[in-house]
Amino acid sequence: SQELEQSPQSLIVQEGKNLTINCTSSKTLYGLYWYKQKYGEGLIFLMMLQKGGEEKSHEKITAKLDEKKQQSSLHITASQPSHAGIYLCGAGPLGQNFVFGPGTRLSVLP
């Protein structure tokens, strides 16, 4: 079965700094989802990447998919306290085989 790893496990940055979170798959990625979780709010879908080389942006968050490396990166530019939370990548076919990474805990210091 597919497994996802994320790095770093946790991250503390100063407001205004840029940061990158990586998600690496044990198998070929055919689609990769990024979510954000804030305590008490459930998972929020950020974006989905389907094709190798694809890059998507939402406000100050950009994600890329490197199919060859079986990896995706999530980059936040000029981080703000509102960016704090847990970022999860997810992949796989729908349903019970869908897997999530362990999450990256982001804290942004004002």
Partner 1 sequence: SAVISQKPSRDICQRGTSLTIQCQVDSQVTMMFWYRQQPGQSLTLIATANQGSEATYESGFVIDKFPISRPNLTFSTLTVSNMSPEDSSIYLCSVEGPFRGETQYFGPGTRLLVL
Q: Which stretch binds partner 1 (CB under 8 A): 14-22, 33-41, 51-59, 69-77?
A: 33-41
Per-position x/- string for 66-95, each x denoting binding to partner 1 as judged by CB under 8 A, each - no binding: --------------------x-x-x---xx
Closest by Cα among 19, 20, 21, 18 to 5: 21
Q: Which stretch binds partner 1 (CB under 8 A): 13-21, 55-63, 75-83, 97-105?
A: 97-105
How many Cα atoms occupy the beta-carbon half-sphere of 81 within 13 Å? Answer: 2
Give SS3 for 83. Answer: helix
Closest by Cα among 18, 3, 14 to 73: 18
Binding site for partner 1 (CB under 8 A): 33, 35, 37, 39-45, 48, 86, 88, 90, 94-96, 98, 100, 102-103, 105
